[in-house]
Amino acid sequence: MIIPLIFEVLLYLNSYYFGFFALCEISMFSLKYLNGNNESEKYQTDFSILAFICIIEIFRVTLARRGNLTEKRWTVFIALMLTIPSGAGLMFLIFLQTKILRLEYTICLIQFVFEILEIATGILLLLPSNKSSQYY
């Protein structure tokens, strides 16, 4: 079917984009921390949320790719459930962060769009009509 292929392509693109996203976010956090004036407590919260997103996102993409390739739907379901805390962390970075740069805003929104598309295709993948036929 076409849905598993679309889901796999989105996961593949997201795995590379997430590396870019994490590198840019960590470097921008470092820049903001070095140029900040006695606001280190605020940046610690922002950085801890970014670290949480990184851990969840690595685990989520790996689990979803493995589940899609082996056609185990429960791993795809768990990966879709892990999208909820990752998306909440992204919403924090977009709206509640101490200082946000335009570049940060843009790359966070692109990451969020990837997650929304993966949720949509993941739900379509889990529907009973998309089970692969097994011929013996």
Which residue type sits at 11? L
Residues 78-125: pLDDT tens digits? 999 999 999 999 999 999 887 888 999 999 999 999 999 999 999 998
Q: Which residues contact 132 (CB under 8 A, 6 or more apart)?
A: 1, 4, 71
Residues 39-67: pLDDT tens digits? 667 788 888 999 999 999 999 999 999 99
